[in-house]
């Protein structure tokens, strides 16, 4: 098997670079294997086949779709880059040509792809945990590659530590070994049990159920409140719980909402809503707009006033989590644009196969509320962390609580 891979991956043959274009990045954040900074002038080249084929294999092995654009360029090595909301996987063909084995190539590509598939933001506060998550993904991929054993995969931590740039060397080598080993063990356990080998188990189950997966554990900075306990004494099926929640939402005119997959249940997400500082909803005219409400009629005087005296806007998203799998926080914050996409990129109906699931004694309903605050009138709303109001206050002031008792 290994001989086949090595033959198939003679891999890093250099093809003529017949064309190149200037590749402009505005404000990139990134993880680069070698070299602490990206080239100031990047040029895009026509891709050859070897690296794209390896990337495709990694995605197939993990059951994922690319959320990034693969770009061959004059980068120092290979880099996962976030430029605004656009994700890129940059690579140098010359760099890969000089690697000694396909194993090294798969390890580096898997680490950087792991950053993207985990939706890492490359913020300084979270870099170490993100690097370990990317190593965990790498261990999972190396098991599937059949190019090494468990000891060889863990040894990649030492190899990368010794060869790579400062961003890798700032990590703890033993922690990197453990992260890779966990990824390897997870892939092995999935194969031995006959379960799906998709890296993100919830996403694989979600596709089967006809839904998109909600991030679970959920993003940080949410206020949380449990509204439903001992549900099996009141409801027979998950669909019964959905009917109860929809009744409450309909009564307070939360008509735009979407369903997402959660283990043995679902997440029901509401549209971004503007509220007053005390937690009550603003007037209907401004309730569902994503810019601060005005105290006047919205005419010229209001516009001029907003220029000189910027007004604040307060926004929230409710998430009703129905599941039997308790979870803390993922530690990853969510931006307003991401929260809005929860509504846009999902279905408005609960699939019958989920609605028919029986309710057991472990099921609960937890409400999460995410707050965003606009400090001016330019439509820019930043997350509020911690939230200004407890979740229970949001439920009471919105009027939802009276229907959820």
Beta bridge partners of 266: 261, 322
Around Cβ 195, how many Cβ atoms within 10 Å?
Answer: 11
Rounded mean pLDDT, 351-361: 90
Q: For 122, left (φ over 0), alpha (ψ -120 to 50), or beta?
A: left
Percent of the chain whose pLDDT exceeds 90: 31
Rounded mean pLDDT, 382-393: 80
pTM > 0.85: yes or no:
no
**What is the residue-averaged pLDDT of the chain?**
80
Please report where in the chains the tokens 């929860």 appear, as a residue.
Answer: 342
- What's the pLDDT score for residue 349? 87
Whether 99 has a pLDDT exceeding 90, the answer reads no
- Render 359-378 in DSSP notation, one character per residue: P-TT-EEEEEEEEEEESSSS
Residues 219 and 157 grouped into a single domain: no
Residues 193 and 294 grouped into a single domain: no
Query: Where a domain ends, among 199, 216, 232?
Result: 199
Please state, in angstroms and rounded to a whole number, the distance separating the CA atoms of residues 156 and 160. Answer: 6
Domain extent for 44: 2-199
Residues 153 and 20 grouped into a single domain: yes
Q: What is the pLDDT of residues 324-333, one digit of tens each?
A: 888 777 777 8
Query: Where a domain ends, among 148, 173, 199?
Result: 199
Please state, in angstroms and rounded to a whole number, the distance separating the CA atoms of residues 168 and 145. Answer: 23
| Torsion sign over Cα 51, 101, 106, 36 | negative
- What's the pLDDT score for residue 109? 94
The angle that helices 127-145 and 102-117 make with each other, rounded to 10 degrees, is 130
Residues 172 and 266 grouped into a single domain: no
Name the pLDDT band for 164 (thresholds 50, 70, 90). Answer: low
Between residues 396 and 18, which one has the greater pLDDT? 396
Residues 358 and 399 grouped into a single domain: yes
- What's the pLDDT score for residue 398? 96
| 300-312 core/surface letters (b: 16 or more CB in 10 A; e: else) | eeeeeebeeeebe
Contact 252, 398 (CB under 8 A): yes
- What's the pLDDT score for residue 201? 53
Q: What is the pLDDT of residues 336-348, one digit of tens each?
A: 888 888 887 678 8
Total structural domains in the chain? Answer: 2
Instruction: Of 45-49, 185-189, 231-235, 246-250, give the lowest mean pLDDT range.
Output: 185-189
Helices (H), 164-217: 166-169, 173-193, 201-209
Please state, in angstroms and rounded to a whole number, the distance separating the CA atoms of residues 172 and 176. Answer: 6
- What's the pLDDT score for residue 76? 87
- What's the pLDDT score for residue 399? 96
Residues 14 and 79 grouped into a single domain: yes
Residues 47 and 139 grouped into a single domain: yes
Residues 103 and 236 grouped into a single domain: no
Query: Where a domain ends, among 199, 229, 251?
Result: 199
Residues 66 and 166 grouped into a single domain: yes
Residues 155 and 116 grouped into a single domain: yes
Residues 322 and 343 grouped into a single domain: yes
Whether 240 has a pLDDT exceeding 90, the answer reads yes
Residues 268 and 355 grouped into a single domain: yes
- What's the pLDDT score for residue 191? 62
Please state, in angstroms and rounded to a whole number, the distance separating the CA atoms of residues 207 and 201. Answer: 10
């Amino acid at each position: 098997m290994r001989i086949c891979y090595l033959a198939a991956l003679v891999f890093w043959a250099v093809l003529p670079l017949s064309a190149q274009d200037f590749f402009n990045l505005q404000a990139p954040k990134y993880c680069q294997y070698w070299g602490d900074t990206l080239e100031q002038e990047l040029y895009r080249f026509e891709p050859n086949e070897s690296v794209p084929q390896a990337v495709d294999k990694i995605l197939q092995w993990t059951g994922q779709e690319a959320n990034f654009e693969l770009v061959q360029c004059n980068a120092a090595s290979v880099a996962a880059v976030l430029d605004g909301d656009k994700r890129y996987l940059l690579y140098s063909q010359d760099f890969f040509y000089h690697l000694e084995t396909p194993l090294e190539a798969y390890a580096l590509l898997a680490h950087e792809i792991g950053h993207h598939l985990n939706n890492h933001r490359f913020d300084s506060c979270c870099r170490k945990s993100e690097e370990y998550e990317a190593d965990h993904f790498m261990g999972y991929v190396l098991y599937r590659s059949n190019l090494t054993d468990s000891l060889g995969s863990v040894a990649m931590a030492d190899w990368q530590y010794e060869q790579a740039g400062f961003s890798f060397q700032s990590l703890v080598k033993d922690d990197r070994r453990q992260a890779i080993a966990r990824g390897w063990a997870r892939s092995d356990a999935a194969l031995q049990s006959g379960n799906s080998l998709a890296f993100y188990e919830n996403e694989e189950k979600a596709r089967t159920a006809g839904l998109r997966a909600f991030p679970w554990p959920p993003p940080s900075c949410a206020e949380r409140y449990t509204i439903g306990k001992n549900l099996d004494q009141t409801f027979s099926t998950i669909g019964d719980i959905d009917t109860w929640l929809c009744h409450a939402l309909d009564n307070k005119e939360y008509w735009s909402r979407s369903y997402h997959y959660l283990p043995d249940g679902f997440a029901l997400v509401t549209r971004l809503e503007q509220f007053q500082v005390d937690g009550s909803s603003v007037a209907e005219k401004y309730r569902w707009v994503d810019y601060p409400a005005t105290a006047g009629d919205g005419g010229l005087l209001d516009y001029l006033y907003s220029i000189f005296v910027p007004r604040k806007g307060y926004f929230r998203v409710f998430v009703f989590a129905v599941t039997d799998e308790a979870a803390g926080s993922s530690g990853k914050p969510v931006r307003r644009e991401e929260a809005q996409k929860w509504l846009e990129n999902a279905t408005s109906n609960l699939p019958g196969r989920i609605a028919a699931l029986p309710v057991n004694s472990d099921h609960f309903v937890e409400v999460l509320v995410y707050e965003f605050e606009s400090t001016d009138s330019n439509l820019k709303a930043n997350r509020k962390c911690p939230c200004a109001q407890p979740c229970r206050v949001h439920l009471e002031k919105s009027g939802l609580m009276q229907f959820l008792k």
